[in-house]
Amino acid sequence: MSTKKKIGLYGGSFDPVHLGHLLVAQAACEEMGLERLFFIPAAQSPFKPGMAPTPAAERLRLLRLALAGKSNYEIDEQEIARGGVSYTIDTVRNYVGRFGDAELYYLIGADHVSSLHKWRESEELARLLKFIVIPRPGQPEAVFPGEFRGHSLQGFPLGVSASQIRERVRMGLSIDNLVAPAVAEAIRNYKLYL
Ligand SMILES: Nc1ncnc2c1ncn2[C@@H]1O[C@H](COP(=O)(O)OP(=O)(O)OP(=O)(O)O)[C@@H](O)[C@H]1O
Ligand SMILES: O=C(O)c1ccc[n+]([C@@H]2O[C@H](COP(=O)([O-])O)[C@@H](O)[C@H]2O)c1
């Protein structure tokens, strides 16, 4: 069995961070024994080109509230700092430089598995890390394409998405129990997603 440190990278738009994300993180840490998990908010996800995300400062504010007090979770702002479209290979190269002796895992929801081969420099990405896939309701069981290596977790499949939360706020519906209480309060106070 490998004794290398296991480090998890969790990239996403987090617009806003919701309980689905937090359960993904929990399942990955428990089932894979990750020592550290970095939440990495994207400046702009490559596969959401037509969608201007909420300003990074607001998404970061919500992430900080959601993760407050969870010491094994960290927020990495490198993609926000780089700006432009956030390609995972650039971020992963940064982690290889910082944690060359660790095993790197990248967390994705099951909705991303079938298009992994379309990610930038996908062969190099597949060489540098393994993927952790968390089931999402409505998505088939993950089958890794080609060269990709990874683990499919049991998780706690939860039918919550950021788009559903944005839509509920626009419609004046409650988002309590879909996001952390402090996140719901901040979304109300700062009048986000109206
Ligand atoms: N409920 C969930 N269960 C499992 N994985 C999830 C869930 N929600 C999000 N993810 C995964 O988390 C990562 C970041 O997701 P993202 O921030 O884009 O949220 P989203 O809910 O998918 O957003 P949107 O509804 O706007 O597409 C992606 O890999 C996505 O598949
Ligand atoms: O690098 C790529 O080509 C690539 C293609 C699609 C998605 N990603 C990353 O995957 C993460 C989840 O994407 P999304 O669209 O669900 O927010 C986010 O950090 C994106 O930058 C990365």
* Nearest residue by C-alpha to atom 21 in ligand 1: 161
12 lines ligand 1 (CB under 6 A): yes
pLDDT tens-digit series, residues 107-162: 999 989 989 999 999 999 999 999 999 988 887 777 887 888 889 998 878 899 99
pLDDT value at position 157? Answer: 80
* Tokens matching residue 79: 């993609």
* Residue 179 alpha carbon to ligand 1 centre in Å: 13
pLDDT tens-digit series, residues 88-113: 999 999 999 999 899 999 999 998 99
109 lines ligand 1 (CB under 6 A): yes
* Residue 162 alpha carbon to ligand 1 centre in Å: 7
Give the atom of ligand 2 at the shortest distance from the alpha carbon of 88.
1
Domains of the chain by range and CATH?
6-157 (3.40.50.620)
Ligand nearest to the CA of 112: 1
Give the atom of ligand 1 at the shortest distance from the alpha carbon of 12.
14
* Nearest residue by C-alpha to atom 22 in ligand 1: 161
pLDDT tens-digit series, residues 159-182: 999 999 999 999 999 999 999 999
What does the chain look like in DSSP terms, one character per residue?
---S-EEEEEEE--TT--HHHHHHHHHHHHHH--SEEEEEE-SS-TT-TT-PPSPHHHHHHHHHHHHTT-TTEEE--HHHHH-SS--HHHHHHHHHHH-TTSEEEEEEEGGGGGGGGGSTTHHHHHHH-EEEEE--TTSPPP---TT--EEE---------HHHHHHHHHTT---BTTB-HHHHHHHHHTTTT-
91 lines ligand 2 (CB under 6 A): no
Q: Which residue has the tokens 């969608």?
A: 51
Give the atom of ligand 2 at the shortest distance from the alpha carbon of 119.
3
pLDDT tens-digit series, residues 26-50: 999 999 999 999 999 999 999 987 8
pLDDT value at position 137? Answer: 84
122 lines ligand 2 (CB under 6 A): no
pLDDT value at position 13? Answer: 97
* Residue 20 alpha carbon to ligand 1 centre in Å: 7
pTM of the model: 0.97
How many Å separate Cα 90 from the centre of its chain?
16
Candidate of 112, 115, 116, 161 to mutate for ligand 2, largest count of ligand atoms within 8 Å of Cβ: 112
* Tokens matching residue 112: 């991303």
CA distance 36 to 59: 21
Q: Are 149 and 131 in contact (CB under 8 A)?
A: yes
